[in-house]
Structure formats: structure tokens, C-alpha cells
Amino acid sequence: MPIKIKTQRTGRAVLMSVGLLCASFAMAQAHTMERAVSIASNAVLQTAPETFTVSYVHPARFGSVQLRTATGETVPIRYQPPANATTTFTIPLPKLAPDSYRLTWRVIAEDGHVMTGNVTFTIARR
Ligand SMILES: [Cu+2]
């Protein structure tokens, strides 16, 4: 079951409890952690990014990705995720106008845990 995260604080609490849960299992199948994202949270970008890349410590399967504007409109993303588990996902972004965006995604770790991530960024008006 996907976990719906309502607030940042709740999100951290959920992630921490998942971490504790994982630690209590034999790690035959790896849980994973986010290693890097190509757009920093709250970044103000002078040029629109053409892709978004997120990488993980262990391979994971792609779950979903969603891009929304500040007013909540969904911006369609065309992404053909890899069929197999992988550590790095590079998601092409459409041409984005100056605005604020929120990108949310989820991947499924090899131990079955759903990992969610999000970044909010702004493309500056020139
Ligand atoms: Cu796990």
C-alpha cells in the first residue's frame, strides 16, 4: 500500500519507522536510500531543466512520477522507466515555463518498501 504523506514532518516520521522496520529484518534483499537528486529542493533555476535524475544506494524499481505547477495543475511527463531494478532514474521533463513546480516520485526497493521523494523548484522569470 502506498503511504500518503501529508506533511513534511509526517513524511520524516514515516521514513524513520520504515528504516527501523528494515533494520529488524535480515537484509537478504536490500532496502534502499536516496543518494542524490539533480535538482535541489527549493532551487531557483535560471534555465529550465531538461531532465531530472534521482539515484539510490541500492537498485529499485520505478513506481511513478508526477509534476505539478504551483496551482496544482499536472504537467504530463513521458518517461519509459527501465524494466529492471536500477540505481539511477533519469526522467525527461517537458519544456517548462517560468513557474514553481513540485515533482514527486516513488520507487520500490528490492525488499518491497515504497520510497517516496519530492522536490519543489522554481524556474525564474527572465
Ligand atoms: Cu526496506
- Whole-number Å distance between alpha carbons of 15 and 11: 6
pLDDT in tens, 93-113: 999 999 999 999 999 999 999
CA of 32 to the centre of ligand 1 (A): 6
* Number of domains the chain contains: 1
SS3 1: coil
Q: How much is the pTM?
A: 0.77
| Domain range enclosing 42 | 8-123
CATH of the domain at 74: 2.60.40.1220
pLDDT in tens, 39-76: 999 999 999 999 999 999 999 999 999 999 999 999 99
CA of 51 to the centre of ligand 1 (A): 27
- Whole-number Å distance between alpha carbons of 59 and 10: 25
CA of 48 to the centre of ligand 1 (A): 34
Checking if the pLDDT of 32 tops 80, the result is yes
